[in-house]
Structure 1
Amino acid sequence: MSRSSSIDGEQHSFPFATEVQLCLSAGQFSDKGAKAENEDAIGIRVPSGHLLTSKGAVSAISDGVSLAEKGAAASAISVSNFLADYYSTPDLWSVKKASSKVLTALNRWLYGLGQDYRDARRGYVCTFSALVFKSCHLHMLHIGDSRIYRYREGELQRLSCDHISLVGNGNKYLARALGLDLNIDVDYQSIALAVNDIYLLMTDGVHDVLCDIDIKSKIEARLTNGKIAFNDNDCEEVSQQLVESAINSGSMDNVSCQCISVNALPEQTLDDLHRSFTQLPFPPPLSAGMRLDGYTVLKILHQSQRSQVYLVKDVQGQLACMKTPSLNYQDDPAYIERFLLESWVGERINSAQVITIKDKARPKSALYYLTEYIEGITLQRWIQLHPKPDIQVVLGILNQIEAGLRAFHRKETLHQDLKPENILIDNNGQVKIIDFGACYIKGIAEISTSLERDSILGTADYSAPEVLLRYKASYQVDLYSLAVIAFEMLTNELPFKAKQADCLLDKDFKRLRYIPSYSLNPLIPIWMDSALQKSLKFDPKDRHNDTSEWLYEMNTPVREWHKPVGEQSLLEKHPLAFWQILSGLLLAIIMLLVVFSE
């Protein structure tokens, strides 16, 4: 897959590759038209791998100002240097920050070069427009009178504003451009991308002679026979057709056009979510009968200092759970990041055993998110109703919980607050893991930030010691919590006589003594208890490698199994000594009977 790029009059060919999740098609065309020299510059750069994710794909177009003697050089410098310098900025910078830094430096460079001319307008001056396609958002940068259009669902919309001033006799001149002044004011806009969007960038030599109907007709002429997306050839041919149509319509300027089609989008990133929601207000406390974005509140399901959960109904009568942030934290950026993280985690996890996020693409007027509504009970209530459960039923529930945990772990995410209250069982026996408020995501944790991130610990009775002691966490933390739940389901009691919650230091945890589950419930096989005991070790290295290994041991009977040495009887540990002692006792009893009989 390739495309051509006209920069400074030279033709270049290079691959247009994107990561698997993001799929774009692109094409561009430039011609000097009626002029002796082409002062336009166009270029597209798409990196591979990490850069595509962290920086995105960029298209840029520039038009050298006709009155400027060095307009052609200015446009070539602006496009080539922006495409190079933008990708040299730190990965952690936002698109807006990175692009503004680069454009400010470019403008000062061009302005400095133009100081050799008495009138700065006759030096290095050009228009500049660029699009940055990053994840699920488009970032638009614009100064001058080139234009940016978007074609979406049959409608053509101009996204940019011409920076021109009109003078007598209909004449116009650029009010804003690169190199025109020491300081610049670049229009910036971030908008959400949609699959099948088509974006056009063109210089005034094209849009001054073609109306919107002409531009739209060229796009729709290729969207025939049920076709809904452009490929590279379509994009390049549309660009060329628009340029040639402008020339045939009497354009007296250079003519350049770029066309980019969005064919597929990656899953939403936390950065996308943060950008979409950080400007939204916190909703007020809601009560039954109140409405928000078409949802009617039926009742309050849960409320705490940190959040509220409501049962709501949409206009079609579908039920859902709405979680809203607490007004106590509306000025706390770390809390807001954590709240956004919850819905983002839920959208990434795809499992029948994990609650489903319901409002992925619906516009909102306030900060909240929706999940499916489950009719059933919590596992906590189930344990209360089944003090002596069937072991096979318990294993069936544990199998489902473990399947949900594996879905988290496949996304390098730890739940970290697995407990009976955060597990629902519907009326058909289907298990759903809920509440992502304490999740740890490796990729997010590795990103440095000025925020002091909101660190939420799990519930002490169910959390692994390393979580409570704030040590490095691994998949074993969720395994530990699952084992605590399994112990409680089988015995109706917490392990270690519920003393774990009182532990504050390493030594406190090391003093805990494991009580065998079969001593509390004689129906529990010894081999199953061995799996429980191993998964509840203080040191994560002494536990199973993962939840699936633990589950296999819990479900697999062992024909020959011995109790731990400390729990074996004298007969099991020293059978010869046992029989010697027993024989001695019997002999003594016989002798006593003989003596008393005489």
Structure 2
Amino acid sequence: MARSLRVSIGQCSEAGAKAANQDFYGAVVPEGSVLSLKGIALAIADGISSSQVSRVASESAVKGFLTDYYCTSDAWSVKTSAERVLSATNSWLHAQTRRSQWAYDRDKGYVCTFSGIVLKSATAHLFHVGDSRIYRLSGNVLEQLTDDHRLVVSSTESFLSRALGMDRNIEIDYRSVPLRSGDVFLMATDGVSDHMAAKCVIGAIAAHSSDLDAAARVIVAEALERGSRDNLTLQIVRIDALPDGEARDVVGQACELPPPPLPGARQVLDGYRIERQIHASSRSHIYLATDLENGSPVALKLPSVDLRGEPAYLQWLLMEEWIARRIDSPHVLKAAPPRVRTSLYTAMEHVEGQTLAQWMRDNRHPDIETVRGIVEQIAKGLYAFHRKDMIHQDLRPDNVMIDRCGTVKIIDFGSTRVEGAMETVVEPDRGEVLGTIQYTAPEYFLGQGGTARSDLYSLAVITYQMLTGRLPYDTKMAAARSRAAQRRLVYASALDDARAIPAWVDDVLETALSIDPGRRFAEISEFVHALRHPIADHANRRNRPLLERNPLLFWKVSTITLAILSIILLLLIVSR
């Protein structure tokens, strides 16, 4: 039977020599699909001693993190989810201080240190701010994994330089470390960490391996005996079992279902009546079917016969439906209503209409306003992906549908990168370059990962092609597999005598199609806005120096000019 992530946890917290305990801690160990999708979360916080409300701050930080983290999108990476939650918590704590009587004395406000661990799949994700600490005990080696955010003034005086609630914005230290079965992580406030000895920690955990609460109590007691005058809180978590490689499945247990045999017309599969096959390739078979419950048409995608023995491929096939269920946009293909299934396939809405590729063949000279309307709808669909921490990675005319009402929808998520799923799912080998090479961003040809700007590049290629009927770099992009080769590529202007394209629109396209991702628009919304609103930068683009407009041509001209001048100078010297 496939194993899942299993841990043992021990905890202890005491006020120590102080009248009140300003520390707070907690842990959440979910079950089922949530364990695979979000992992196990632990957190510890230490309120600063100079504040009367620091207990409120530490409790709010821990409870907020452990609650809100599990409310974030399943598609987000652990890092994205945790940092957004902590950023919101920091803003709330800082606002509470600003509204209180300690508005101008942050040392008495809602301030606390914070350390958190999220254990997901075979990785520990660490988040830290302040001077509480995270350690890892591997074998007999106790290693500190975090740095104290404390500014030392003298041998007897120091103060926190960073903490939750201290400033309007917060910088959270992040680190990920691979997990091994038997690893032990400890989170301790400074009342423990400043006074505990590695030998005591190792001995206590070894002696109380079946009761980590007892081990935590022993370590806290040792810190008290060593003179700790602060609150003392310690959490211990031991990795008892790691998930099997095949079990890292973001779509639950669906991959355990057998793929169905290829169906024939009128055959019924789990309440879907097969009407006809609408597509077949080496990777999948797609059938038009009717949902017998409500009569609506659906598209069923079945795995290819040749790839049914590849778990990674089956996972990513099911990921398409998983993605569709998490994106709510009229411009992204939707999944069919969920139901119990007896075999492995995906069920999506069926869109009556034509692909953008077919539309472009039927409309070879569209007016610019029509193009803008289509681009804006595609952009809205891409934005729905990006706000969920997903990159489509295969945007092309064949993956865009226009239904009978004129609504544009992005389809086919087989290449979509989901940051949250990357932490648990092994990505199948799809060849050297993702997507279709004519629409693939240059960075992919260099072996780099994609970003939202990569999807922007693909959208810009589609826009350029609709306006001109050709590609911005012809077919040369696919052969440019090095930075030097890509620097030699020259953007082909969209302007020609046969089409009425404003010069500033050509400038917008050139920016969006820059070889360097950093030179493109930062957001897809900027590109869409620029297609309708000429701005000074684009209006004056033609007047920019040659060095900015075409660096390669500038250096070629400069080199030739210097060479000619050198020859002339040499001839003058010789003639004397």
TM-score (norm 1): 0.49
Instruction: Find the counterpart in structure 2 of residue 274 from structure 1.
Output: 251
- Partner of residue 92 from structure 1, selected from 103, 121, 130: 121
- 8 Å CA contact 1:18–1:47 kept in 2: the answer is no
Amino acid of the residue matched to residue 540 of structure 1? P
RMSD: 3.4
- Partner of residue 444 from structure 1, selected from 409, 416, 421: 421
- 8 Å CA contact 2:464–2:470 kept in 1: the answer is yes
Instruction: Find the counterpart in structure 1 of residue 171 from structure 2.
Output: none
Instruction: Find the counterpart in structure 2 of residue 309 from structure 1.
Output: 286
Instruction: Find the counterpart in structure 2 of residue 374 from structure 1.
Output: 351
Q: CA deviation at 1:485?
A: 0.2
| Pairs within 5 Å for 1:70-219 | 91-92=120-121
Query: Matches of 1:505 and 1:285 in 2, distance apart?
Result: 43
- 8 Å CA contact 1:359–1:369 kept in 2: the answer is no
- Partner of residue 353 from structure 1, selected from 317, 323, 331: 331
1:119-149 deviations in whole A, cap 9, x for unaligned? xxxxxxxxxxxxxxxxxxxxxxxxxxxxxxx
* 3-state DSSP of counterpart to 2:395: coil
- Partner of residue 541 from structure 1, selected from 481, 501, 518: 518
Query: Matches of 2:314 and 2:329 in 1, distance apart?
Result: 26
- 8 Å CA contact 2:356–2:402 kept in 1: the answer is yes
Number of aligned residue pairs: 322
- 8 Å CA contact 1:17–1:47 kept in 2: the answer is no
Instruction: Find the counterpart in structure 2 of residue 531 from structure 1.
Output: 508
Query: Matches of 1:472 and 1:543 in 2, distance apart?
Result: 16
Q: CA deviation at 1:538?
A: 0.9
Instruction: Find the counterpart in structure 2 of residue 340 from structure 1.
Output: 318
Amino acid of the residue matched to residue 302 of structure 2? T
- Partner of residue 557 from structure 1, selected from 530, 534, 547: 534
Q: Does residue 321 of structure 1 match 2:350?
A: no
Q: Which runs of no fewer than 5 residues in structure 2 stay unpaired?
A: 1-23, 35-61, 71-115, 124-246, 547-576
- Partner of residue 415 from structure 1, selected from 376, 392, 416: 392
| Pairs within 5 Å for 1:341-490 | 341-360=319-338, 362-445=339-422, 447=423, 451=426, 453-455=428-430, 457-490=434-467
Q: CA deviation at 1:521?
A: 4.7
Larger deviation, residues 310-319 vs 516-525: 516-525
Q: Does residue 49 of structure 1 match 2:72?
A: no
* 3-state DSSP of counterpart to 1:493: coil
Query: Matches of 2:117 and 2:419 in 1, distance apart?
Result: 25
* 3-state DSSP of counterpart to 1:485: helix
Q: Does residue 292 of structure 1 match 2:289?
A: no
Q: Does residue 493 of structure 1 match 2:509?
A: no
Question: Cα–Cα, structure 1 residues 454 and 18, in superposed 2: closer, same or farther, change >3 Å?
Answer: same
Question: Cα–Cα, structure 1 residues 88 and 471, in superposed 2: closer, same or farther, change >3 Å?
Answer: closer
- 8 Å CA contact 2:392–2:413 kept in 1: the answer is yes
1:238-280 deviations in whole A, cap 9, x for unaligned? xxxxxxxxxxxxxxxxxxxxxxxxxxxxxxxx97753331210
Larger Rg over CA atoms: 1
1:304-350 deviations in whole A, cap 9, x for unaligned? 11111111012142111111111212221211221122111111111
Question: Cα–Cα, structure 1 residues 433 and 336, in superposed 2: closer, same or farther, change >3 Å?
Answer: same
Query: Matches of 2:507 and 2:379 in 1, distance apart?
Result: 18
Query: Matches of 2:120 and 2:286 in 1, distance apart?
Result: 36
Q: CA deviation at 1:53?
A: 6.5
Query: Matches of 1:473 and 1:460 in 2, distance apart?
Result: 14
Amino acid of the residue matched to residue 49 of structure 1? F
Q: Does residue 514 of structure 1 match 2:491?
A: yes
- 8 Å CA contact 1:491–1:521 kept in 2: the answer is no
Query: Matches of 1:334 and 1:430 in 2, distance apart?
Result: 33
- 8 Å CA contact 1:526–1:563 kept in 2: the answer is no
Q: CA deviation at 1:509?
A: 2.2
* 3-state DSSP of counterpart to 1:519: coil
Q: CA deviation at 1:372?
A: 1.0
Query: Matches of 2:487 and 2:118 in 1, distance apart?
Result: 49
Q: CA deviation at 1:567?
A: 11
1:147-171 deviations in whole A, cap 9, x for unaligned? xxxxxxxxxxxxxxxxxxxxxxxxx
Instruction: Find the counterpart in structure 2 of residue 65 from structure 1.
Output: none
* 3-state DSSP of counterpart to 2:457: helix
Instruction: Find the counterpart in structure 2 of residue 215 from structure 1.
Output: none
Question: Cα–Cα, structure 1 residues 416 and 296, in superposed 2: closer, same or farther, change >3 Å?
Answer: same
Q: Does residue 504 of structure 1 match 2:481?
A: yes
Amino acid of the residue matched to residue 444 of structure 1? A
Query: Matches of 2:522 and 2:380 in 1, distance apart?
Result: 16
Question: Cα–Cα, structure 1 residues 422 and 90, in superposed 2: closer, same or farther, change >3 Å?
Answer: closer
